[in-house]
Amino acid sequence: MKLFDPHIHMTSRTTDDYAAMRRAGIIAVTEPAFWLGQPRTHAGSFEDYFLSLVGWERFRASQFGIRHFCTLGLNPKEANNPDIVDPVLELVDLYLEKDGVVAVGEIGYDDMTPAEDDILGRQVEMALRHGLPIMVHTPHRDKKAGTRRTIDLLREAGVPPHMVLIDHNNEETLPITLDSGCWAGHTIYPGSKMDEPRMVGLVQTYGGERIMINSSADWGISDPLKVPKTTDAMVAAGIATDTIDTIVWRNPIAFYAQSGRLDPAELEIPLPVDQRLLFEGNTVLRGQAPAVDVPAAATAVPA
């Protein structure tokens, strides 16, 4: 079964992770713009980060047979810093034109401040102007209220619900998200957020329409193999293969293809691996023999 992780922060992960993900069946990922764990203090640091998402990280994934897409935006965690907001949003507006950028995101709420209202609204306007889907981060605290507040803002802005992926859902917010007509993402974490058994229960209750799962793996305690592990749990629970395939493959493709920058037919073709290639003179290798035309990159020795 082909797998797509629609929300994972590979900048924070190693080449070992890429190789393991490809062996587990993950052949496409989307990496949303994220924060670094501490505040960035200069707009220039955002530009270098955005450049890495559309450049180096896309190349690095390809070296292990994985197609890499990204979403760009000012994360709500950093939306409350007035010193960086305006120049960073100018960069976002510019970089939304780049190849491989398939949505605006992840945007939304953290503390649900007036500043976050403003920054969310401005980035929603960008998404409408660029004709791009929107990936929404729902807050860790008071998630139900944050989800409703986000949906209300999007509705008032005139965003079609089929262009919105609301992420980090749980049992309390999933009915709200589905009733809104938006797509519903679920982050499977070790020991927090959603786990495999709970996700199986949600799929048994709601089916697979407009539902996705992701690992959201980053620099914190997380697992880049949560999509294949949850897939295995759904198989073991007897969920229909067609439903599983819809959740882990067809739904992410259908959502991000709305950007016009993801070709579903291209994703059906295995991405050949050629680790002899360079990106701006750099390679993922550190003296190892390059893997060439090995779809699973199983013989590659990561740097």
> Binning pLDDT at 50, 70 and 90, where does residue 189 land?
very high
Q: Are 201 and 188 in contact (CB under 8 A)?
A: no
- Per-residue model confidence (pLDDT) at position 212: 98
Architecture of domain 3-267: Alpha-Beta Barrel (3.20)
Boundaries of every domain in the chain:
3-267
- For residue 207 the two structure tokens come to 């089916």
- The rounded percent of the chain whose pLDDT value lies above 90 is 88
Render pLDDT for 232-265 as a digit per residue (tens, 0 to 9).
999 999 999 999 999 999 999 999 999 999 999 9
Report in angstroms the alpha-carbon separations of 61 from 17, 106, 255, 284.
Answer: 10, 20, 21, 10
pTM: 0.94
What is the C-alpha R_g of the chain? 18
- As a whole number, mean pLDDT of residues 193-216 equals 97
Torsion region of 65: left, alpha or beta (phi above 0 gives left; psi -120 to 50 gives alpha): left
- Per-residue model confidence (pLDDT) at position 39: 86
- As a whole number, mean pLDDT of residues 270-296 equals 89
Round to whole Å and give the CA distance between 93 and 100.
Answer: 15
> Binning pLDDT at 50, 70 and 90, where does residue 294 land?
low
- Per-residue model confidence (pLDDT) at position 77: 87
Render pLDDT for 158-188 as a digit per residue (tens, 0 to 9).
999 999 999 999 999 999 999 999 999 999 9
Report in angstroms the alpha-carbon separations of 2 from 26, 63, 171, 257.
Answer: 6, 18, 26, 17
Tell me the three state secondary structure of residue 53: helix
- Supply the mean pLDDT for the chain: 94
Q: Is the dihedral of CA 176, 177, 179, 184 positive or negative?
A: negative
> Binning pLDDT at 50, 70 and 90, where does residue 300 land?
very low
